[in-house]
Amino acid sequence: MSHKKGIETRLAHEGEDRLAHQGAVVPPLYQNSLFVFRDWDDIDAAFADRTARPIYTRLTNPTTLLAEQKIAALAGDGYACRLTASGMGAVSAAVMNSVSQGDHIVAVKNIYGPTNNFINRYLAGKMGISVTFVPGDDPAQFAAAITDRTRLIMLESPSSAVFGLQDIPAVVAIAKKHGIRTMIDNTWATPLWQRCLDMGVDIEVHSCSKYLGGHSDIVGGAIVARPEVIHDIIVNESELLGATIAPQTSWLLIRSLRTLPMRLRSHAESARNVAEFLETHPAVKRVYWPGLESHPQYALARRQLKGFTGLMGFTLATTDLTRIKAFVNALEIFQIGVSWGGHESLVYAPAISYLRDLPPERFSDLGISLGDIRISVGLETVGDLLADLGQALEKAV
Ligand SMILES: Cc1ncc(COP(=O)(O)O)c(C=O)c1O
């Protein structure tokens, strides 16, 4: 068929040869560390490209290869994928592949916390890497931060903390002018809604523990880039640092990817209902979700994103900690938890973390508020989610 297949069809069938596996509709799980060879010449031929044929699961595994093929197809044509043991496994491998001792990184300020700690604390101490953080809402900030040691620009758009966006093509143009590699954490949008590599970004990373997995039953990560970049990461960071995904996790991910488009459409629709409900509620001061026209970068969001997902933030109107706690504790369907992107609705208050080290009076110095709330809108009946938020918000008035 010359017709170009849609992404739902590709996620369902890409790379699968069912008749080669007794007609099994679900691909077999190669739950093994090792693969054996017919003779000397056979293993010698396998070593000619350690990434192509399974030798040992730290490098390659057929179940993982199948999941990688599907994620590469999701990201666009002509790309390759490497799966890792977690999202941080993907971030650390991609960064290590991009910088050497003494190099400089420009990163967006609200990048995921452990990513920030990895480049700014861990690599700074061990490899003398320096980092300049920029707010990211104006591409000129990146241009101004570049030095002759800058090797990497790190984006996260929208950021999962404050939902700020970067103008991806504009930052890519600046980076290309200086020969600097760009990397983006695309976990929030997934490649279904945001085609970063097609916009010119060199490396895209994901936590598969969020929407790509979608069932809150796996921890994994993905790096997607041109095949030569992925090959280099496999034979260096994957082999040497060893944060390899487990075959069973890849197998569960293959299951998850089949329903990604329909899950994301449902998350997007429910999230819009929830965001609009919150925006008009008197107990809510402000809602942070790039799909709302009130979002300061709404025009950029419409240009760059093909859709929106279920993680959003809002600030309660009250600054009374007792009422803020009462709101969180009154929620029945939204459960208290730190992750997001799964089937279940979740709530988290950043103050739970900040109050451990910071008195409430200092919150405004950091641009945060005691009443900041983060929710992950899941796949439950949206009317139930609105009713749950409505009854809990009465405790915050
Ligand atoms: C935006 C973002 N990137 C990366 C990660 C790290 O992923 P993992 O927990 O799979 O290591 C997370 C986890 O919360 C995240 O929110």
Query: What pLDDT, on a 0 to 100 scale, did the predictor assign at position 162?
Result: 86
Query: What pLDDT, on a 0 to 100 scale, did the predictor assign at position 37?
Result: 97
CA–CA dist 301, 195 (Å, integer): 13
Supply the CATH number for residue 45's domain: 3.40.640.10
For the segment 302-315, the average pLDDT, to the nearest whole number, is 98
The H-or-E segment that residue 258 falls in is helix 247-258
Identify whether residues 200 and 132 lie together within a single domain: yes
Q: Please report where in the chains the tokens 């008035």 appear, as a residue.
A: 397
What does the mean pLDDT of the chain come to?
96
For the segment 1-11, the average pLDDT, to the nearest whole number, is 91
Count of structural domains within the chain: 2
How long a stretch of residues is the chain? 397
Tell which one of 156, 160, 166 to mutate to probe ligand 1, the residue whose CB is within 8 A of the most ligand atoms. Answer: 160
Identify whether residues 175 and 212 lie together within a single domain: yes
- Looking at the predicted structure, is the pLDDT value of residue 287 above 90? yes
The rounded Å distance from CA 374 to ligand 1 centre is 15
Identify whether residues 59 and 151 lie together within a single domain: yes
* pLDDT-wise least confident of 195-204, 305-314, 353-362: 353-362
Residues near ligand 1 (Cβ within 6 A): 86-88, 112, 160, 185, 187, 207, 209, 219, 221, 339
> Which residue has its alpha carbon closest to ligand 1 atom 2?
112
Query: What pLDDT, on a 0 to 100 scale, did the predictor assign at position 181?
Result: 98
Query: What pLDDT, on a 0 to 100 scale, did the predictor assign at position 197?
Result: 98
Which ligand 1 atom lies nearest to the CA of residue 159? 1
Identify whether residues 214 and 244 lie together within a single domain: yes
Query: What pLDDT, on a 0 to 100 scale, did the predictor assign at position 347?
Result: 98
The rounded Å distance from CA 92 to ligand 1 centre is 12
Identify whether residues 269 and 187 lie together within a single domain: no
Cβ atoms within 10 Å, residue 13: 13
Q: What are 18's two structure tokens?
A: 């069912």
Asked whether residue 122 is assigned to any structural domain, the reply reads yes
Half-sphere exposure of 224 (CA within 13 A, CB side): 32
Query: Which of the four pLDDT bands, split at 50, 70 and 90, describes residue 2?
Result: confident
Query: What pLDDT, on a 0 to 100 scale, did the predictor assign at position 223?
Result: 98
The rounded Å distance from CA 207 to ligand 1 centre is 5
Residue-wise pLDDT for 23-48, tens only, equals: 999 999 999 999 999 999 999 999 99
CA–CA dist 337, 260 (Å, integer): 22
> Which residue has its alpha carbon closest to ligand 1 atom 7?
87
Query: What pLDDT, on a 0 to 100 scale, did the predictor assign at position 353?
Result: 87
Half-sphere exposure of 68 (CA within 13 A, CB side): 29
- Looking at the predicted structure, is the pLDDT value of residue 190 above 80? yes
Q: Which of 236, 258, 280 is the last residue of a domain?
A: 258
Residue-wise pLDDT for 137-150, tens only, equals: 999 999 999 999 99
Q: Which residues contact 14 (CB under 8 A, 6 or more apart)?
A: 69, 70, 73
